[in-house]
């Protein structure tokens, strides 16, 4: 999975899946824009990534997104890959108990932020004859979980955005994927365990996957070997996808 010549922008790359994806894509030859809301966080990850740049990007702020894309282009070249990883599980709680502004902010970060990023790179993808967008999805996009109304609604919207972009721009060479990474040992999972509100919060930390595995899967989606999965939702637990991506069978 040689990504030499590729230029990737990764949102929410300060830790977890975003950070591991930045390291994986860089190791496979891509030039990587590591973005986070705090520059120091992005720099800490970029330090591990050759041919990378650390950039501030608040995906909920369209101006911040557009500036990050401009800076990435100036430093690394025309983007060919976007990984929309930034998102939030908060606020957690029964819908009637949630702060309305916090609910709206969650939708803006997880869904609207991904749309801002896709809109910022799309003209460059079209001018170059194509590109690849990986939207971090979740089983919560398709099945509700108690206490996660904001997260579920945002991920459901993101799943439809994935399908819409693939439909509208697939013929122009733009490949768009929704990728559900499974239950991974990240800061988000720590917040979920602390809430104690649904069955996912009861999962022991020892049962969670490492972020390195979804990073490998995302790297596969950044290659033309994954074109058959464009426009749909890909779950890392799907055996056909795991085989195509070179991941070991579950339980192996």
- pLDDT tens per residue across span 49-92: 999 999 999 999 999 999 999 999 999 999 999 999 999 999 99
Q: By CB neighbour count within 10 A (0-12 exposed, 13-18 middle, 19+ buried), where does 123 fall?
A: exposed
Percentage of the chain beyond pLDDT 90 is 99
Cβ(200)–Cβ(208) under 8 Å? Answer: no
Of 236, 213, 252, the closest CA to residue 24 belongs to 213
When the pLDDT of each residue in the chain is averaged and rounded to a whole number, the result is 97
What is d(CA 247, CA 240) in angstroms, rounded to the nearest whole number? 10
| pLDDT score, position 151 | 98
Q: What is the pLDDT of residues 104-131, one digit of tens each?
A: 999 999 999 999 999 999 999 999 999 9
User: CA-CA distance, 138 to 163, in Å (whole number)?
Assistant: 15
Q: Would you say residue 252 has pLDDT above 80? A: no
The pLDDT of residue 157 is 98
Q: Measure the CA angle with vertex 232, ends 63 and 225; round to 5°.
A: 95
> Residues 200-229: pLDDT tens digits?
999 999 999 999 999 999 999 999 999 999
The average pLDDT across 221-245 equals 97
Cα–Cα–Cα angle for 135, 83, 141, nearest 5°? 15
144 contacts 186 by C-beta, under 8 angstroms: no
First to last CA, the chain: 22
Which of 151, 177, 229, 241 is catalytic? The answer is: 151
Q: Quote the pLDDT of residue 251.
A: 81
Superfamily of domain 7-245: NAD(P)-binding Rossmann-like Domain (3.40.50.720)
In 80-206, beta strands by DSSP E: 81-84, 131-136, 174-180
Structure tokens at 82: 């976007």
CA angle 148, 152, 155 (to 5 degrees): 140
Integer Cα distance of 194 and 75 in angstroms: 40
- The answer on pLDDT for 241 being more than 90 is yes
d(CA 107, CA 153): 8
Closest CA to 132 of 18, 215, 224, 4: 224
Mean pLDDT for the stretch of residues 144-170: 98
Provide the residue ranges of all domains of the chain, joining segments of one domain with +. Answer: 7-245
Judge whether 131 and 125 are in contact, CB under 8 Å. Answer: yes
Place of tokens 């309305």: 100
Tokens of 27: 């190791």
pLDDT of residue 1: 84
**Residue 151 appears among annotated catalytic residues:** yes
Structure tokens, 4: 């030499």
Pairing of strands 7-10, 81-84: parallel
pLDDT of residue 108: 98
């Amino acid at each position: 999975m040689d990504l030499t010549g590729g230029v990737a922008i990764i949102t929410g790359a300060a830790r977890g899946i975003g950070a591991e994806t930045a390291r994986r894509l860089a190791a496979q030859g891509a030039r990587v824009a590591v973005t986070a809301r705090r520059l120091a966080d992005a720099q800490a990850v970029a330090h591990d990534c050759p041919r990378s740049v650390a950039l501030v990007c608040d995906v909920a702020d369209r101006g911040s997104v557009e500036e990050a894309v401009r800076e990435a282009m100036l430093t690394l070249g025309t983007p060919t890959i976007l990984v929309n990883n930034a998102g939030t599980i908060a606020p957690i709680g029964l819908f009637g108990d949630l702060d309305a502004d916090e609910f709206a902010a969650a939708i803006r970060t997880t869904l609207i932020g991904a749309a801002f990023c896709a809109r910022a790179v799309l003209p460059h993808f079209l001018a170059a004859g194509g590109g690849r967008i990986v939207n971090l999805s979740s089983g919560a996009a398709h099945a509700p979980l108690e206490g996660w109304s904001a997260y579920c609604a945002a991920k459901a919207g993101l799943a439809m955005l994935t399908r819409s972009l693939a439909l509208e721009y697939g013929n122009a060479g733009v490949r768009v994927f929704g990728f559900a990474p499974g239950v991974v040992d990240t800061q988000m999972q720590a917040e979920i365990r602390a809430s104690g509100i649904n069955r996912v919060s009861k999962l022991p930390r020892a049962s969670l996957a490492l972020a390195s595995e979804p990073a490998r899967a995302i790297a596969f989606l950044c290659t033309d070997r994954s074109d058959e999965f464009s426009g749909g939702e890909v779950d890392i637990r799907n055996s056909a996808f795991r085989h195509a991506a070179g991941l070991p069978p579950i339980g192996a």
